[in-house]
Amino acid sequence: NAGVTQTPKFQVLKTGQSMTLQCAQDMNHEYMSWYRQDPGMGLRLIHYSVGAGITDQGEVPNGYNVSRSTTEDFPLRLLSAAPSQTSVYFCASFQGNGNTIYFGEGSWLTVV
């Protein structure tokens, strides 16, 4: 049982490039979310999903796309990277209200 697995752990992008952060969970959780954490800041919700085929926007969705084709996977796509997207990205999954949220180890992204 690996929990929530994110890849890559570290990535440097040039402005304008696109990339996908991968997230997979093996706990059969319905709910999955992506957060970003800027230095010294809190966790801000980017996008979330309540099940396969269902996604919605969080607090800071601009510049990001998500999809949920399976229960296990929830990739985050940066469409055209900007320096403002330099951050640590956390994927999370949980089974619903009142249940523990499990986070991945984080992906450190730098956009130059």
Cβ-contact 14, 80 below 8 angstroms: no
Length in residues, the chain: 112
Q: Please tell me the distance from the alpha carbon of residue 111 to that of residue 82, in angstroms, as a whole number.
A: 6
Q: Are 110 and 38 in contact (CB under 8 A)?
A: no
φ and ψ at residue 106, rounded to 5 degrees:
100, 150
- Please state, in angstroms and rounded to a whole number, the distance separating the CA atoms of residues 85 and 12: 11
* Residues in contact with another protein, shown as a per-residue x/- string from 88 to 107 under the rule CB under 8 A: --x-x-x-xxx-xx-xxxx-
Site for another protein in 23-52 (CB under 8 A): 31, 33, 35, 40-43, 45, 48-50
Return the number of the residue (82 or 88) whose C-beta is nearest another protein.
88
Q: Report the nearest approach of another protein to the CB of residue 102 (Å).
A: 8
What the block records as the tokens of 45 is 């919700």
60 near another protein, judged by CB under 8 A: no
Question: Min. distance of Cβ 39 from another protein in angstroms?
Answer: 11
We find the least distance from the C-beta atom of residue 49 to another protein, in angstroms, to be: 8
For residue 71, state whether it binds another protein (rule: CB under 8 A).
no
Total Cβ atoms within 10 A of residue 53: 11
Residues that bind another protein (CB under 8 A): 31, 33, 35, 40-43, 45, 48-50, 56, 58-59, 90, 92, 94, 96-98, 100-101, 103-106
